A and B are shown apart, each in its own frame.
Chain A
Amino acid sequence: MGRALERGARRGRADPAVNTSAAAATEPLHEPALALHVEDLTVAYHGKPVLWDIDVNIPPGVMAAVVGPNGAGKSTLLKAVLGLVPRTAGHVTIHGAPYRQRRRQVAYVPQRTAVDWDFPTTALDVVIMGRYGHLGWFRRPGRAERERALAALDAMGIRDLADRQISQLSGGQQQRVFLARALVQEADLYLLDEPMAGVDAPTERAIVALLQGLRDAGKTLLVVHHDLQTVSDYFDWLVLLNVRVIAQGPVEKVYTAEHLRRTYGGQVALLQREPRNGALGAETAPRVEA
């Protein structure tokens, strides 16, 4: 039944009318106009709330940053969307349907430190893992998956590293491998957890170019981001998070001194900043002092 629903939903994306009628038999779509809709979400670990009654709404086709101090629940938000952590309360829909029906339309890039890079496998093989969801149980990846993965490595500029064991890659190259893996998932919604943490400048540029390319192709991206200085250069949508959602919306409306102060409390020194003045305007950008 899940398969049939998923097919219905996938077919429906091209034609909203079909979608509605196909899904109506079982469950009506909830907020189908939003790429990601999170409502009344609370996640608690051992009695301590990590996310407290939050609503997040991301329209399709934007590149959104999730920004907030350490322990704000940014990674937890992504994991809760994917069902990787139990939800105490609340619900999540992706293009109107629960995650279980949208699995193949969502790509996830975990933090680079989430996996063991000493694992005996190659860069190419890790990228091919991005196709596993489309293959389903038991079917093995073949030449088609290999070709796709090589193309994705090429897009990330590391095709020549395809046969490298993954521990021999630099941090930036490992991150590119993860991005290539998300690319072959051919999703509509990309959830990325700190893709630019600890990478060199050329890798950061390559990643940003890739993500913006995806957005321009109509995909939706939700990116946990750690660098306040680059938020308004890279992103067009912003969610300020600190256990609760402080503000969300288009960057130019949300990226204000008042909102940032409320997000970071005393940890941030705010200075006047010209909008869109490029990464070089570091002196005038908000700076985290913690």
Chain B
Amino acid sequence: MLATLLADPGLVIVTTGMLVGTASSLLGAFLILRRNSMLADAISHSIVLGIVLVWLLTRQQSGAVQLLGAALAGIATVALTELLTRTRKVKDDAAIGLVFPALFALGVLLLNLYARDVHVDQHTVLLGEIGFVWLRTMPILGHEVPQALVWLGLVTTINASFVFLLFKELKLATFDPALAHALGFAPAALSYALLVLTSVTAVASFEAVGVVLFVAFVIVPPAAAYLLTDRLERMILLGIAVALASSWLGYLAAVALDVSIGGMMAVVTGLFLLAAFLAGPRYGLIARLVRQRHQRLHDECLALAVHLLTAENQGEHPRKPLTDGLAWTDARATRVLAECRRHGLVRDDAAGLALTAKGRGAARALLEPWRVEPG
């Protein structure tokens, strides 16, 4: 099975995308909820400096030492950002914006000065070369396995174990850091661990997919999942599902249209987000419009009930046509009346319109809430 996978460049490319997507969106879910997603962007840029420095020191372009370099670059980004924020001269988002372009620029400068022959150029940094991952291989158990697959497989396993084993701790540290701290769960250390893993994932993804697709995979699938569910577990799983589907569909679309594979994968994540934004069951735009319309009708019903109660209290009988005082159009009045009858709030009696007991109760609950104990 492994042999067939490795023999098919298409499968290798899709698998690479899926591994990047899974590893990234696992962490991205927490980054988004902590409002830290800008840090993923920052880290993914500053690791260029880490990669160049490690290359200058060791002449190694990939492998464990590069993962270490990335982790250090990520920590440097976060530490410098926090240092700047602590001076209280700049806000934290501005601090992020100051730190990572500086580190990125320094990285690019060093690249141009000393490392012209290294296989890291601006184009690769931004877009990667996912189409060529299957070309660079390393021997494992008698198979020539693409290096990207090996490192990404490792990183995905690490991230999945991290989130699985420390799910409870990460959830608490994200939702209520103060309680996490009070209970002894070291939220600051967890936060750093999360960002170090983000850096490591960035460098492992970097060569294959570039900065842009990495950032897309960190942020977009979990953001789409967030719109679709109310449970953290499902948000993480849905985020992974979106990432997997985007890799597959993105590859197919890119081949069909003969465009950049990485770019197309990012586009598909965006389409998923758009779909979730429009058609999400609770937070989607369509659902919200329907709910608002329903709410308006409901409010109008209560307005009518209160109107009838006022009239009742003043010993009047609501005159017809109903539309005079309320200034509703005939169509609107008909719609509201139908809704009120459907809920059994009003009934027709000999003289015209009257409240039912239920309708009277609803109107009273609005006007005199202190008489009714809210649940």
Contact = CB atoms under 8 A, between A and B. Distances in A.
Interface of A: 46, 79, 82-84, 100, 103, 106, 108, 110, 114-116, 119-122, 126, 129, 132-133, 135, 137-141, 165, 200, 202
Given A119-B33, A120-B230, A140 B168 contact: yes
A119 B373 contact: no
B184 A120 contact: no
Given A120-B235, A121-B231, A202-B373, A129 B181 contact: no
A106 B179 CA distance: 11
B184 A84 contact: no
Contact of B226 (A46, A120, A122): A120
Nearest to A203: B374
A200 B374 contact: yes
B141 interface: no
Nearest to A161: B375
A159 to B, nearest CB: 12
Contacts of B171: 121, 129
A114 B178 contact: yes
Given A129-B171, A138-B166, 5 more contacts: A84-B178, A103-B182, A121-B175, A129-B176, A202-B374
Interface string B200-234: 00000000000000000000000000100111101
Nearest to B86: A46
A132 B183 CA distance: 8
B165 interface: yes
B231 A138 contact: no
Given A103-B183, A132-B183, A116 B175 contact: yes
A79 B178 contact: yes
Contact of B231 (A114, A122, A132): A122
Contacts of B176: 110, 114-115, 129
Nearest to B180: A132
Given A114-B176, A119-B174, A120-B230, A84 B181 contact: yes
B226 A132 contact: no
Given A46-B88, A126-B175, A138-B165, A165 B182 contact: no
B167 to A, nearest CB: 8
Contact of A119 (B166, B175, B178): B175
Contacts of A137: 169, 185
Nearest to B234: A120
Interface string B228-267: 0111101100000000000000000000000000000000
Nearest to A121: B232
B182 A82 contact: yes
B178 A120 contact: no
B230 A165 contact: yes
Given A140-B168, A200-B374, A129 B175 contact: yes
B178 A108 contact: yes
Nearest to A119: B175
B106 to A, nearest CB: 31
B154 interface: no
Contacts of B184: 100, 103, 133
B172 A129 contact: yes
Given A135-B168, A140-B168, A141-B168, A83 B175 contact: no
- Nearest first, the 3 closest Cβ-Cβ pairs linking A and B are A165-B230, A133-B183, A82-B182
A122 B230 contact: yes
A132 B182 contact: no
Contacts of A46: 88
B226 to A, nearest CB: 7
B232 A108 contact: no
A47 to B, nearest CB: 12
A202 B370 CA distance: 10
Nearest to B370: A201
A165 B175 CA distance: 13
Nearest to A81: B182
Contacts of B165: 138
A141 B168 CA distance: 8
Nearest to A172: B374
Contacts of B231: 120-122
A64 to B, nearest CB: 19
